Amino acid sequence: MAHRPKISVVGAGNVGATVAQYVVEKELGDVVLVDIIDGIPQGKALDLSQAGPVHGYDSRLVGSNGYDETADSDIVVITAGLARKPGMTRDDLLFKNAEIVGGVVDQVAARSRGAILILVTNPLDAMVQLAWKRSGFAPERVIGMAGVLDSARFRTFIAQELQVSVENVTAFVLGGHGDSMVPLPRYSTVAGIPITDLLPPDRIQALVTRTANGGAEIVALLKSGSAYYAPGASTVEMIEAILKDKKKILPCAAYLDGQYGVAGLYVGVPVKLGGAGVEQIIEIKLTTTEETAFQKSVAAVRELVEKLKL
């Protein structure tokens, strides 16, 4: 019998529920939703199951306040934690979310030794480093979702500015998921044409700034909670690349072991995502200015990770 992939999503809040929704809508596998709040994962799983006949999916959804149902997952997505409130930075969440994510990783790693972990909880780069240490998993099986979202935001703004289809726009973002992220305009294209040939530097800079503040812009609008549709969709693109062994090049927080001159740290870089997780780190040549911005971002990530004393 064909193997039906099992995707567990810990944290059945806004991002977790959106991940579950997009996963079943694409029929990527069965979903287990886990949360500490009694009734929330069960209720959302049941509600999403009942959308199945309308959308035409047969994925099974289960909600739980425990972890036994997650046993032998192929992928575990971790979104558990606190989300930002207006005026908070992602880093303000560090210690509280480290405690939550550490506990979650212990539970899921014990029951799904072969799983690939995708971290979503912020501050992302520090959380994925923590999850890697705590799980004892090989680094290629612990990955952070950030770059797909950041580049999706950049692509949206580029498409709006040039009034072209988002499908024609590719974008490239490096570095940590935070204010120090490094969008790379010369590798960001419209139908293959670099945006540096299509837009003046001041407009590009405006789009870059808006991308770096993309999460905060939404937090300010929502007032309670942070973004979840685009983060959910970005996570599901990674899940799909892994489960279908697509070997898709996507920017993700991945463990660097000397690449880009960085060793022993998770940072956002382009990787090849396939059945084994991160199958390759794609190294590109950076200009001096890009290199300076990238190293600044790496330093910000390292500073945060050091606070966790892993």
| Catalytically active residues, by annotation | 177
By three-state DSSP, how is residue 252 classified?
Answer: strand
Q: Is the Cβ of residue 40 or residue 190 nearer to ligand APR in the bound state?
A: 40
Q: Which of 11, 147, 175, 214 binds ligand APR (CB under 6 A)?
A: 11
**Is 222 one of the binding residues for ligand APR (CB under 6 A)?**
no
Size of the site for ligand APR (CB under 6 A): 29
Q: Binding residue for ligand APR (CB under 6 A) from 5, 7, 8, 15? A: 15
Residue 248 per-residue DSSP state: E
Site string (24-53) toward ligand APR, x via CB under 6 A: ----------xxxx--x-------------
Map the footprint of ligand APR across residues 226-265, applying CB under 6 A: 226, 228, 231
Smallest distance, ligand APR to C-beta of residue 295, A? 25
CB of 277 to ligand APR, least distance (A): 20
Shortest spacing between CB 64 and ligand APR, in angstroms: 10
Q: Which two tokens stand for residue 271?
A: 């990787």
Buried b (16+ CB within 10 A) or exposed e, 157-182: bbbebbeeeeeebbbbbbbbbbebbb
Helix 124-135 with 288-307: angle, nearest 10 deg: 60
With contacts defined by CB under 6 A, name the span among 79-87, 195-203, 279-287, 299-307 that binds ligand APR.
79-87
Name the residue nearer to ligand APR (CB basis): 100 or 243: 100
For residues 82 to 121, the per-residue mask of contacts with ligand APR, x marking binding by CB under 6 A and - elsewhere, is: -xx--------x---x--x--xx---------------xx
Tokens 């998921």 locate to 177
Angle at 171 between CA 123 and CA 184, to 5 degrees: 75
Q: Could you please report the per-residue DSSP string of 188-232? A: -EETTEEGGGTS-HHHHHHHHHHHHTHHHHHHHHHSSS---HHHH
Phi, psi of 268 (to 5 degrees): -75, 120
Strand extents, DSSP E, 11-100: 30-34, 61-64, 75-78
Query: Shortest gap between Cβ of 22 and ligand APR (angstroms)?
Result: 14
Query: Among the candidate windows 168-176, 191-199, 222-230, 245-253, which touches ligand APR by CB under 6 A?
Result: 222-230
13 near ligand APR, rule: CB under 6 A: yes
Give the gyration radius of the chain's Cα atoms: 19
- Exposed, middle or buried, 294 (CB in 10 Å: 0-12/13-18/19+)? buried
Toward ligand APR, which CB reaches closer, 93 or 199?
93
Which of 149, 153, 162 lies closest to 209, judged by CA? 153
d(CA 1, CA 151): 38
Instruction: Quote the least distance from Cβ 112 to ligand APR, whole Å.
Output: 16
Of all residues in this chain, which one has the CB nearest to ligand APR in the complex? 13
CA–CA separation, 277 vs 290, rounded Å? 27
Q: How far is 80 from 77, CA to CA, in rounded Å? A: 9
Asked if 134 touches ligand APR (CB under 6 A), the answer is no
C-beta of 37 vs 299, nearer to ligand APR: 37
- 14/73 with CB nearer ligand APR: 14
Q: Which positions touch ligand APR (CB under 6 A)?
A: 10-16, 34-37, 40, 79-81, 83-84, 93, 97, 100, 103-104, 120-122, 225-226, 228, 231
